[in-house]
Amino acid sequence: MNGGPAVLAIAEWWPILPVGAAAAILSALIIRLIRPHLQKHALAKPNARSSHRVPTPQGAGIAVVAATLIVAGSVLADRAPAGLFGATLFIAALGFADDIKPVPVLPRLVLQAIAVGALVFASPAEFRVASAVPFWIERGLLLLAGLWFVNLVNFMDGLDWMTVAEVVPITAALAILGIQGDLPLPTTIVTAALCGAMIGFAPFNRPVASIFLGDVGSLPIGLIVGWSLLQLAGEHHLAAALLLPLYYLADATVTLLRRMMRHEPFWVAHRSHFYQRATDNGFTVTQVVSEVFVLNLVLAALAATSIRAGSLALETALVALGGAAVALVMVRFSRPRSKTAAI
C-alpha cells in the first residue's frame, strides 16, 4: 500500500488548493446530475435504526469517489497509485450493489478483504510499519486493520454531516503534512482531492440531508483514508496515524466490543454508537457533528505535534492526551444532555 518514495517538494505544493477546489466543484456538479436518478432508484427508507424520518436518496458517494479519482488521476498522471484506484472502484461497485439490494454479510466481507488485501500484499517488501513484527504477521494484521477501517467508516456514517466532520479534518491534515514533506506525493494529492470532494458533498448532506453517501461512498472513502493513514504510518509516524482517526476508531471499536459482550448480533445495523446515543440523549445533530469536528481538529493538532516530537515518550503522551479527549466526548454523548446545557 506504499505510494512510492517520492515526497512533495516545496516547489510542488501549489497544486494542492486547486486540486481540492476542482474536486469540490466536480463532486457538487455530479451530485446535482445524479440526484434525480437516485431519487427514483436508490431511496434509503427510514427504519427503527435510522436517524432520518423520510425516504432520502443515497448514492452521493458516486460523485465523491468519481471526483476524487478523476482529479487526483489527472494531476498525478503516471504517478497515480493504480492499485488504490482499482481497489477503490471495486469496493465502490460492491457498495453500490449493497445500496440497491443488500449483499449477505459473508460474501460482502470476502469481497472487501480482496480489495484491502490487494493493496496490502502488493506493497513493496521494504514497506514496514512495525519492523520488529515478522513480515507475514504484520501483513496479516494490516489486512485485518484495513478491513475493520473500511467497515467502521461505513458503521459511523449514520448521521447527517458525520462523515464530513470526520473525513474533512483528517484529509486536510494529511494534505498539509504532505506539503511539509511528511507524505509521498500521490498520498498528498489523493487526500487533497478527497477533502475537496467531501466539501462539495457537504451542502447536500447538511441537516436535514437531501442525499446520503450510501455504501458506494462510505466503503471506498474508508479504503482511501485507511490507505492514506497507512502511508503516514509507513513514514514512521505511527502515533499521528493513530491520532487522526482516533474518535472513529474508539467509538466503533468500543461499540462493537460492547455488543459482542452482550451477545448481540453485532453484524446487524443498530443505534448504539456513541454519536447515535447522543441524539437520543438530547443532543441535536448539529451539536453532535460540531463536537466531533472540533475534536478532530484537536486530534489533527496533536498528530502534527507528534511528528515533530522527537521522542517516543512524548509521542505516547500525545496519544494518551488524544485518547482522553476522545473519551471525554464519548462520555458526554452517552449521558443525557442537561436542560441547562441545552438552553
- Looking at residue 49, its pLDDT comes to 55
The answer as to whether 329 is a domain residue is yes
Looking at the domain assignment, is residue 116 inside a domain?
yes
Mean pLDDT check: name the lowest of 163-167, 205-209, 216-220, 338-342: 338-342
Residue 87: give the domain boundaries: 10-342
**Rg of the chain, C-alpha, whole Å:** 19
Number of domains observed in the structure of the chain: 1
- Average pLDDT in the 120-143 region? 92
Q: Which pLDDT tens digit goes with each residue over 67-114?
A: 999 999 999 999 999 999 999 999 999 999 998 888 898 999 999 999
- Give 148-211 as a 3 state SS string: HHHHHHHHHCCCCCHHHHHHHHHHHHHHHHHHCCCCEHHHHHHHHHHHHHHHHHHHHHCCCCCC
The answer to whether position 70 is within a domain reads yes
Residue 193 CB partners (closer than 8 Å, separation 6+): 19, 20, 22, 23, 67, 68, 69, 71, 72, 75
Would you say residue 41 has pLDDT above 90?
no
DSSP symbols for 39-62: HHH-EE---TT-S-SS-EEB-THH
58 backbone dihedrals φ, ψ, rounded to 5° = -125, 155
Quick check: is 63 in a domain? yes
What is the DSSP-derived secondary structure letter of residue 125? T
Q: Domain for residue 105, yes or no?
A: yes
Indicate whether 281 belongs to any domain.
yes
Give pTM, 2 decimals. Answer: 0.91
pLDDT tens digits, one per residue of 49-79:
555 567 788 999 999 999 999 999 999 999 9
pLDDT band at 267 (very low <50, low <70, confident <90, very high): low
- Please report, rounded to a whole number, the percentage of residues in the chain having pLDDT higher than 90: 71
Phi, psi of 56 (to 5 degrees): -130, 135
State the pLDDT confidence band at 13, using cuts at 50, 70 and 90.
low
Q: Is residue 272, in this structure, part of any structural domain at all?
A: yes
Q: In sequence order, which residues have a C-beta less than 8 Å from that of residue 158 and are 6 or more positions away? A: 51, 271, 273, 275, 276
**Is residue 14 situated within a structural domain?**
yes
Q: Nearest CA to 198 among 83, 99, 289?
A: 289
CA 29, 112, 296: angle at the middle one, nearest 5? 60
What lies within 8 Å, CB to CB, of 65 at 6+ separation is 88, 89, 92, 197, 216, 217, 220, 221
